[in-house]
Amino acid sequence: MAEQDWLAGQFEQSRPHLQAVAYSMLGTVSEAQDAVQEAWLRLDRSDPGGIGDLRGWLTTVVGRISLDMLRARKARRENYPGSWLPEPLVKDSADDGPEHQAVLADSIGLALLVVLDTLSPAERLSFVLHDVFAVPFDDIAQIMDRTPESARQLASRARRRVQAAPQPDRDITRQRRVVDAFLAAAQGGDFEALLQVLDPDVVFRMDLGPVSPLAHPPLAGAGPVARQILATAPRFAHLAQPVLVNGQAGALFGTRDEPIAVIGFTIVGGRIAALNLIADQDKLRHLTIQP
């Protein structure tokens, strides 16, 4: 019993790290929790005496579980309407002080998660475990039954995709000014003001859920995006409250107890390069649990 208690204690110490690994792989809080719980069940059935580095062992187990879940989900999402977006991590944004800069530095942003979702499961695993969590390629190769060189090549391909995507501004205060200007223009129905804060090649993705009749492919271009926003935003913009969405300036429409939608912004060079709107209520359910 003492050994089991010790093992449980060690697992709980690693839980935040394991949750971060699984979320980075899967992009959903609920699936990440399931992956971490499955890792505990596998640990409970294992001989801890044969495990040298428990944290490393658990990381690779969570990676393997997440890889299997990701492969199964890819097959199910072939007919998903509109855009599939991650479950957002939302933190209250009462101010933009140094502690928020730290949150930003430690977070996997929505923009990165959207890019990761375009990768193959094997590419995503290799990149996330190596580039984000510093897992050696030898360990990653064992998860996929490949050679370390193959894992290295997968991570390299993924890295090129990530680096080719727009790189968000890092200053949260600057981000917040742009978001505030966007919300003011949306609430006021000011088309020209919207064009001032939108990048000419801005992309607007909306995840309204798997059965919404309003779902449609992403919109591109400042003009079409501004017109789409003004078609609905003036009725809802006053409900927006500033929050951090995956460590970057965003907005929560409604409240944590009754969320309507969450929008994350990718701000590049002081303008909005991408908007990611999550209104699927299943993906907002976890927001009712205060962090």
Domain-located, residue 133: yes
Tell me, yes or no, whether 133 and 185 share the same domain: no
Domain-located, residue 222: yes
Write out pLDDT tens, residues 6-43.
Answer: 778 888 999 999 999 999 999 999 999 999 999 999 98
Q: For the whole model, what pTM was predicted? A: 0.88
Tell me, yes or no, whether 205 and 140 share the same domain: no
Q: Would the pLDDT of 54 be above 50?
A: yes
Tell me, yes or no, whether 125 and 201 share the same domain: no
* Residue 105, pLDDT score: 41
Domain-located, residue 148: yes
Q: How confident is the model at residue 210 (pLDDT cuts 50, 70, 90)?
A: confident
Tell me, yes or no, whether 188 and 204 share the same domain: yes
What domain count does the chain have? 2
Tell me, yes or no, whether 265 and 141 share the same domain: no
In this predicted model, which residue has the larger pLDDT, 192 or 76?
Answer: 192
Q: Are the CB atoms for 194 and 229 separated by under 8 Å?
A: yes
Buried b (16+ CB within 10 A) or exposed e, 169-198: beebeebbbbbebbbebbbeebeebbbebb
Give me 54's structure tokens.
């428990």
133: exposed, middle or buried (Cβ count in 10 Å: 0-12, 13-18, 19+): middle
Tell me, yes or no, whether 76 and 11 share the same domain: yes
Write out pLDDT tens, residues 102-133.
Answer: 434 445 889 999 999 999 999 999 999 999 99
Q: In what order do the strands lie in the sheet with 219-220?
A: 90-92, 240-245, 248-254, 259-268, 271-278, 198-207, 219-220
CATH number at residue 53: 1.20.140
DSSP 23-65: HHHHS-HHHHHHHHHHHHHHHHTS-GGG-S-HHHHHHHHHHHH
Share above pLDDT 90 across residues of the chain, in percent, rounded to a whole number? 69
Tell me, yes or no, whether 282 and 210 share the same domain: yes
* Residue 289, pLDDT score: 63
Tell me, yes or no, whether 35 and 141 share the same domain: yes
Domain-located, residue 102: no
CATH number at residue 281: 3.10.450.50
Give me 91's structure tokens.
């933190």
Residue the block writes with tokens 């990381």: 59
Q: Would the pLDDT of 179 be above 80?
A: yes
- Domain limits for position 47: 2-80+120-164
Q: How confident is the model at residue 46 (pLDDT cuts 50, 70, 90)?
A: confident
Q: How confident is the model at residue 219 (pLDDT cuts 50, 70, 90)?
A: very high
260: exposed, middle or buried (Cβ count in 10 Å: 0-12, 13-18, 19+): middle
Q: What Cα–Cα distance (Å) separates residue 151 from each residue in 9, 61, 124, 155, 249? A: 32, 16, 10, 6, 34
